[in-house]
Structure 1
């Protein structure tokens, strides 16, 4: 990838990452920038179209994707170096190696799409959107998947009205197709190839340009007016209906990550703070008729059998005397049955509810084959956790069906949608518990907020997020932030959330077939585009 295209595509990759959540201080800090994401895709589409060979298209796609992904999740360096003790050069190399490996999906897509480099705007738009979708889906699925940084998250506001129909991958496909079509229309060879000897455009070329103009007018403006999609989503008929209000209290302990698992420091701090905060939250919620308290992932970093029996007895007795319910992140299990990263739930006169994390984090919660040597180089409380089943039942309480998910599980919309296969038992409220303290005070917090917002939009369900350091936030069924605690502070967020019932089109098809309808459509587009004009 020599020459000016190298620098242009590397810069476009970094811009694509920044578009997910602007990482620099200023008026748009932490916000998605859809226009920047779209411009970056325009550069990629032009680079692939102008590549002199299939190999050049591959290298151009790889350079773009490696820069994009490294600039998206660079904060993994903090977890490996600052908290894991891995030498800085090795930690940086590990991040770059992961980005380069995951970038191979986009590189393969670019090499495949080079075949249609001379296509008109409609065909190039369709094949580019299809190829981009397949690459995004493969990256988010194969080898357990790591879809962090998918293009659609930059469109959480701009394409909000599309989310309940096509989900995050479909939103990314719309943006990619718009970018590629406009590149083929304005910068491609269509104008020169479709002119008569007198230099006038033939009718077919004019028709293609007019049709492309209609698409640009329909989809383009919201990219430059980020709140346009939200404005439209608010005015379209909702797919879901209210299912009752519920007072909530979300806890953010802000326990320092380097002390969190230390027996004499972070553990007693967590036990004392969460016990006090839960007691106070229960009193206030009971005065309002009862509500839900949520504490973050591994808020108590101990197994129940390893806790002080007096502390545990006080905890259970306080909930038994309350009119409210509590969800708490903690490990469960034993040496014989294995351990799980779990959410436990309690309400008066009820047995303990249990949700076990299904989608585990490679290296953090399980060690991939042949990589134990890499884990041994770091001093992080890693372990091989046991995986919970997919589609676990929700926590039913006070007329609501509350579905927990842990940490980056809310990246996998198709997995959350499994619980919506049966409309009568579908969750009315989603709850994410996380600990992003591993990545410091970085844009990872903002990126994860937008991920949760998009899940709320896809399924039209409110999302409650209780985290250790942020973003602890209440998100409504249209992806709008209703309330949020300042990041890296210790506090309790109190709000009222409205549960929802009913199914969006995305919940219907993704709940039954996952992402396969979208993948199948993309494959059909590529197969159909191989036919002669």
Structure 2
């Protein structure tokens, strides 16, 4: 017998399953974003992940775990990556409804990866301990890595970035890279989830606490290890931030002011190296006014500076021009040097095969860039070798270390004006902080609207400019040499560990059968 308006037992059970299996993971997924910049509350991300892992551990089937993983991913990416709506609607002129649908579908695609992780973990692991402490964290990191490489990759909001730079777990970055930090954080989350399920004062609980303490202590000790060392004297660097609105950048009436402002800022900067952000000058490099370029060259020679220009190069091949998103050095002596962007942004700098129709909707200029060579030498400025990453190339740790060991400094030039006043620019800064940790090098950032910053080899921001202001950031960067373990091995080491954990969980489960 039930009273009017009271839910029947099956209804209550369905509501409980819905709340626990879908709503709770979705809320936890959204909460993970608080661990990333601009908040940097790294424990929140670990605890939120522990909630997901606990839900997976109590799921009745791989399908249930997949649905919970999808809900978690959808909450996480809708909260943390929905700035793509700004790019498509505000600056790409896509109709608001279509941009909203496209943003949702993109976030839903990203949510597939944690969904597959949950399915795999429960599919291969029958033993409870192996499922909790091996299969679940390893599967999560395996599919996070896959998200970073599939279809050119999108490793934005990787778990390891959330721990940068303050968490003790960030100490694993120079050893195992960003995915190694992700694995350490996932293991901590798995231990927290297992602690919830363990009996108080049991031997297993003590072992879990010992494992938790070991991960945090080892990570903290690794943060104090100097994997690289300073070489030579600090070099003075001026990082320019022009703050040119994206929707005005290419207009004729704005171009003259942009040229004038950047020339003035470069000439006023008292530094050995002056850096302009990505595509700072709104013209092809070969079409820059001759007097303008000659004036910068003459100033560089007289003042003893090297000026690095974010620009677009082009060369005529066959019957058409090939365009390159480039950083060109004009300096005190010798020929110009350039770095051409290698990792292009889908739909922003190139249109994937079969998606030509997107051009009829998006109004983004220059979507047919060419790729720079896979291996390019660092640019030399003020006698220092500089490894360059343009735009979001610095979210790919395995590509940034290609510049090592020659590069003594790292440099990112970018234009995050595409994302408006969202979290994207700060999240991008945090990715640069992780790259500095992985490589044991200073990372310098020159951006159009922010965040322009100098980051030391420990991943900490030494100085930065406020967003959406025009200014010059002066800093004394310390060149460094030597290779971190991650710079030597790349992602191979952490992928081996992840594979070993998955195999161990499978074999244990196989014997259980």
Normalised by the length of structure 2, the TM-score is 0.91
How far apart, in 2, do the equivalents of 1:278 and 1:359 lie? Answer: 28
How far apart, in 2, do the equivalents of 1:473 and 1:497 lie? Answer: 11
**Equivalent residue number for residue 29 of structure 2:** 13
- Structure 1's 233 and 522: CA in aligned 2 closer, same or farther, altered over 3 A? closer
Question: C-alpha offsets along residues 162-211 of structure 1, whole Å, 9 cap, x if unaligned?
Answer: 21111111111111112123313422xx65xxxxxxxx99xxxx543322
Q: Check the 8 A contact 2:70/2:114 in 1, yes or no.
A: yes
* Structure-to-structure mapping, 1:371-386, within 5 angstroms: 371-386=355-370
1:470 lines up with 2:450 in the alignment: yes
1:250 lines up with 2:250 in the alignment: no
1:326 lines up with 2:307 in the alignment: yes
Question: C-alpha offsets along residues 228-269 of structure 1, whole Å, 9 cap, x if unaligned?
Answer: 95xx5664344333442100101000001110111222x222
Q: Check the 8 A contact 1:140/1:146 in 2, yes or no.
A: yes
How far apart, in 2, do the equivalents of 1:382 and 1:303 lie? Answer: 11
Give ranges in structure 2 of 5+ residues lacking alignment: 1-16
Aligned pair partner of 1:215 in 192, 206, 211: 211
Q: Secondary structure at the match of 1:68?
A: helix
**Equivalent residue number for residue 493 of structure 2:** 517
How far apart, in 2, do the equivalents of 1:67 and 1:369 lie? Answer: 30
**Equivalent residue number for residue 305 of structure 1:** 286
Q: Secondary structure at the match of 1:244?
A: coil
How far apart, in 1, do the equivalents of 2:315 and 2:53 lie? Answer: 52
Range with greater deviation from structure 2 (12-21 or 361-370): 12-21
Aligned pair partner of 1:349 in 321, 333, 343: 333
How far apart, in 1, do the equivalents of 2:442 and 2:188 lie? Answer: 30
**Equivalent residue number for residue 298 of structure 2:** 317
- Structure 1's 371 and 381: CA in aligned 2 closer, same or farther, altered over 3 A? same
Give the drift of 1:310: 2.1
Q: Secondary structure at the match of 1:359?
A: coil
How far apart, in 2, do the equivalents of 1:243 and 1:101 lie? Answer: 47
Aligned pair partner of 2:40 in 28, 32, 42: 32
* Structure-to-structure mapping, 1:181-330, within 5 angstroms: 181-187=191-197, 191=199, 206-219=202-215, 229=220, 235-265=224-254, 267-281=255-269, 284-285=270-271, 291-330=272-311
Give the drift of 1:220: 5.3
Aligned pair partner of 1:173 in 180, 183, 206: 183
Give the drift of 1:121: 4.0
- Structure 1's 213 and 359: CA in aligned 2 closer, same or farther, altered over 3 A? same
Question: C-alpha offsets along residues 350-377 of structure 1, whole Å, 9 cap, x if unaligned?
Answer: 1000100001000000001121212320
Q: Check the 8 A contact 2:130/2:505 in 1, yes or no.
A: no
Q: Check the 8 A contact 1:121/1:212 in 2, yes or no.
A: no
Q: Check the 8 A contact 1:153/1:450 in 2, yes or no.
A: yes
- Structure 1's 527 and 235: CA in aligned 2 closer, same or farther, altered over 3 A? closer
**Equivalent residue number for residue 11 of structure 2:** none
Instruction: Tell me the matched-pair count.
Output: 488
Question: C-alpha offsets along residues 269-311 of structure 1, whole Å, 9 cap, x if unaligned?
Answer: 2111111111111xx23xxxxx100010000121123222222
Q: Secondary structure at the match of 2:311?
A: strand
- Structure 1's 239 and 123: CA in aligned 2 closer, same or farther, altered over 3 A? farther
Give the drift of 1:453: 0.6
**Equivalent residue number for residue 98 of structure 2:** 90
Range with greater deviation from structure 2 (96-105 or 118-127): 118-127
Q: Check the 8 A contact 1:38/1:176 in 2, yes or no.
A: yes
How far apart, in 1, do the equivalents of 2:500 and 2:287 lie? Answer: 55
**Equivalent residue number for residue 339 of structure 1:** 323
**Equivalent residue number for residue 75 of structure 1:** 83
Aligned pair partner of 1:458 in 438, 459, 466: 438
Q: Check the 8 A contact 1:458/1:504 in 2, yes or no.
A: yes
- Structure 1's 92 and 220: CA in aligned 2 closer, same or farther, altered over 3 A? farther
1:360 lines up with 2:344 in the alignment: yes
Q: Check the 8 A contact 1:344/1:354 in 2, yes or no.
A: yes
Give the drift of 1:320: 2.9
Question: C-alpha offsets along residues 441-482 of structure 1, whole Å, 9 cap, x if unaligned?
Answer: 221111111111110011110011000011100111111111
How far apart, in 2, do the equivalents of 1:234 and 1:176 lie? Answer: 19
Q: Secondary structure at the match of 1:329?
A: strand
- Structure 1's 234 and 163: CA in aligned 2 closer, same or farther, altered over 3 A? closer
Q: Check the 8 A contact 1:121/1:208 in 2, yes or no.
A: no
Question: C-alpha offsets along residues 24-63 of structure 1, whole Å, 9 cap, x if unaligned?
Answer: xxxxxx1311111011111110111111222111111111
**Equivalent residue number for residue 503 of structure 1:** 483
Q: CA RMSD in A?
A: 2.0
Aligned pair partner of 2:66 in 48, 58, 67: 58
How far apart, in 2, do the equivalents of 1:210 and 1:136 lie? Answer: 30
Q: Secondary structure at the match of 2:74?
A: helix
* Structure-to-structure mapping, 1:478-493, within 5 angstroms: 478-493=458-473
Give the drift of 1:116: 5.9
Q: Check the 8 A contact 1:120/1:185 in 2, yes or no.
A: no
Give the drift of 1:18: 2.6
Give the drift of 1:335: 4.6
How far apart, in 1, do the equivalents of 2:42 and 2:50 lie? Answer: 12
Q: Check the 8 A contact 2:453/2:463 in 1, yes or no.
A: yes
1:448 lines up with 2:451 in the alignment: no
